[in-house]
Structure 1
């Protein structure tokens, strides 16, 4: 996709680092935007209280609420319902949206459609897209974990690294399995998706390409550039060119190409 610059980024905020996935870039960028503009809110994915990791969109109007949404969820959250809630229920006119590639694509279609509510389309201040290879069906994932002898309510974090799916209770790794063994849990719509890096976002963020504990940040638009600059200048985020770290942009391109070819192959099969 089109981009202006690529960086490895890491939050300088200890609380963010303690709760985030990888480098905490998304949370730090949004945190600074909200500090600079108290009228801005962010739609992020959180976990429904009392459920087994059921994601739901949250309208974060404070830094504390923002921190609740830190970390990656590997099942889908209805993000655009969160945007509608931010505008219609919270009365916000400036909204930052965090979503997966398919959600960001849907957001852009909504913004360009003559049939979409103008208030929603014009309220989007920033779109942050997440790297995404695929997501799991929530019900099937929970049943799979229970079948492996895990109590989903005790799991505090999930992660995917080097082709392995991992579950943690606190800092203890309690489950690890090759992703290929979880293929049956993947949502069917993901098989036709060609977008790994959220090509239609203002800023795209993921772990691939950066060292452990850092996030890869792809700046795609002027809006995205301004948002990143604010976080860096405020001292809440440190960045270095992605070309200066390993494995770098080559790793991102490899996965992006692989996902596109796989989806195009399944479409013609």
Structure 2
């Protein structure tokens, strides 16, 4: 893989954009290999259709030469080849043992099929406000409320619904119980700018030391961890983002594809109050109060391309990973780190959640194992097909 000298670009860019580029004075200064976007992400991630669409490369480009177009990064100006975009990408040379060592103090053991896990437990919210709006057990909302009300964080970066488009995921920075509740529920289209939204949190950390929680899908958690491992960045992402809560994910769908699929069944997104996926069905609760079930299989043709190569079902790099796995009114939580234990304990001690042993629902572990293996097999099959083997 070739490299490119940046001296031809560095001086005029610095003169034009001033001290905000002090971190990008040279890849030597931050300890990164000098690589261009074209040589790395352009050729090895975007062109083959592997891009997760997380936006970490755009957020962290110190020269501001990247933008997002249709959920994928593109060059707006000539790339100065600093290597930062490749370093933060969750689809480019992801070194799991190294990231696990950073996040958890050790890599997973051979028998840890779900990644590093300190504790596995079933949990649900006890908060009536949360239970009135939550998707399943309301655990994520209760964790965030506990973090804010106990002063552990100043807010949370998560997805909400765009006001002008029904069920279109948008970025939210929530600082209050009311704002957390407004973001409750699952979205099955991808929040393309969620990681870019971390930039707002990073700005508040720089300005006044604010700390935040982040709720994201596995690929977005991977991007966050790589950002936290950046050497000497302007924003210390490990301090700015105190807790990473990951959501179980098989895949997400394009917004247009989801809308078209519902239209085939005479439904519009504006008519849908809540969506869920259970036992191979897309379960819809309409605003009229009616409940509809549609087969999930035909919707899979609208799966986002980047999801086909993802092997992480249970957000294996999060501090706490949360899913439902068919449970009614409960969540399963995989607590992976010391920070995760701290956050979970805060919610317990505040009386915001109930818990019970995961052993009470042995079926849940079977489902977790099946979905974990299935997603890995799918990613391996796609990789083999792309390589021609």
How high is the TM-score relative to the length of structure 2? 0.66
| Of 10-19 and 143-152, the range deviating more from structure 2 | 143-152
Give the match for residue 28 of structure 1: 142
Comparing both chains, which one has the higher relative contact order based on Cα–Cα distances under 8 Å and sequence gaps of 6 or more? 1
1:257 has 2:373 as partner: yes
From 192, 196, 220, the equivalent of 2:313 is 196
Give the match for residue 172 of structure 2: 58
Give the match for residue 71 of structure 1: 185
Q: How many aligned residue pairs are there?
A: 268
Does the residue aligned with 2:333 lie in a helix, a strand or coil? strand
Cα deviation 1:117-141 (Å, max 9, x = unaligned): 4344430100000000000011221
After superposition, residues 148-187 of structure 1 pair within 5 angstroms as 148-170=265-287, 172-187=289-304
Give the match for residue 219 of structure 1: 335
Contact 1:83/1:95 (8 A) holds in 2: no
Gaps of 5+ in 2: 1-114
- Supply the distance in 2 between the matched residues of 1:152 and 1:73 (Cα, whole angstroms): 12
Give the match for residue 240 of structure 1: 356
- Supply the distance in 2 between the matched residues of 1:222 and 1:82 (Cα, whole angstroms): 25
Cα deviation 1:151-193 (Å, max 9, x = unaligned): 2112111100001112212473443222111111100110000
Task: Output the aligned Cα RMSD.
Answer: 1.7
From 118, 129, 134, the equivalent of 1:15 is 129
Contact 2:286/2:292 (8 A) holds in 1: no
Give the match for residue 101 of structure 1: 218
Larger Cα-atom Rg: 2
Give the C-alpha shift of residue 30 in structure 1: 0.8
Give the match for residue 87 of structure 1: 202
1:40 has 2:157 as partner: no
Does the residue aligned with 2:371 lie in a helix, a strand or coil? helix
CA separation of 1:41 and 1:188: change in aligned 2, threshold 3 A = same
- Supply the distance in 1 between the matched residues of 2:232 and 2:222 (Cα, whole angstroms): 16
| Of 30-39 and 46-55, the range deviating more from structure 2 | 30-39
- Supply the distance in 1 between the matched residues of 2:169 and 2:327 (Cα, whole angstroms): 27
Gaps of 5+ in 1: none
Give the match for residue 262 of structure 2: 145
Greater strand percent: which structure?
1
CA separation of 1:116 and 1:54: change in aligned 2, threshold 3 A = farther
